[in-house]
A and B are shown apart, each in its own frame.
Chain A
Amino acid sequence: MSEPLQFVFDVSGENFTSAGEASVTVKKNLRMLGFAPDIIRRVAIAMYEGEINMVIHAGGGVATVTVFPDRIEMVLDDRGPGIADIELAMREGFSTAPDNIRNLGFGAGMGLPNMKRNTDSMKIESELGKGTKITMTVNT
């Protein structure tokens, strides 16, 4: 049995302009692997929202995407400030994004709920002052 295919990305937290580069690459790779468009889109949206979050809130992090025979798994791991109240963070419209991010068209408080909506499972592990790890899967 061969090892599952894995892509690892160092998501830079330095500039908002480059946010999304990992998601674009994942999308291209999944397209080359021949996945159905709706699967690719769900993975791309969840990953992009997560990537944007890592850049806005956590100063970047590491994104690992693994292609298993039955699912695609995305793990977004950062060393940011952590999420104080996960239940509150999951509420549509709740956001702690600063105004400069809202001016760029993000920070409407739709990211985490949208990640959940586009995936088949989503687990958030977060510790204040340590960081946040989000694991999402899309069944294929």
Chain B
Amino acid sequence: MKISRVAELLGAKIRSCADKASSEVCSACGSDMMSDVLAFVKDQAVLLTGLVNPQVVRTAEMMDMRCIVFVRSKLPSDEMLALAEESGIVVMTTPLRMFEACGILYSGGLGKTENL
């Protein structure tokens, strides 16, 4: 699925690296706990989270993730967006809650994550 399609399905606004929205992603993970993202994520390219601080962007970068979706209308700071731009990570924001956002992407065809 293209990142632009992720944004479309979630009614999300893209806030960084819009030029990379045509990249393909095939799986996602939803978590507010970066410790768990670092410990359990394998090849999921999209991170859905309601946590807003610069370490979210750093965690995504460490895990080679391509896209961060902030749920529940959480707004990333300018500093976070600058970090994301630097790292080539597409950041988007959606008013949807975590459960709905994950469900919509899953039923929209974004692949299953591996069993943890």
Contact = CB atoms under 8 A, between A and B. Distances in A.
Interface of A: 16-17, 19-20, 23-24, 27, 37, 41, 44-45, 48-49, 52, 104-111, 113-114, 117
Contact of B61 (A19, A27, A52, A111): A27
Interface in B23-64: 32-36, 38-39, 49, 51, 53-56, 58-59, 61-64
B58 A24 contact: yes
Contacts, number: 66
Interface residues of B, number: 21
A20 B53 contact: no
Nearest to B53: A104
B34 A23 contact: no
A17 B35 CA distance: 16
A41 B62 contact: yes
Given A17-B53, A17-B54, A20-B55, A106 B62 contact: no
B103 to A, nearest CB: 22
Q: Is chain B's binding surface mostly helix, strand, loop or mixed?
A: helix
Contacts of A52: 55
Contacts of B32: 105
A49 B62 CA distance: 10
Contacts of B79: 17
B39 A114 contact: yes
15 contacts: A17-B53, A17-B79, A24-B87, A44-B62, A48-B59, A48-B62, A104-B34, A105-B34, A105-B35, A105-B53, A106-B55, A107-B35, A110-B36, A114-B39, A117-B39
Given A17-B53, A20-B58, A24-B58, A106 B63 contact: no
Nearest to B77: A17
B16 to A, nearest CB: 16
A41 B34 CA distance: 16
A20 B34 CA distance: 13
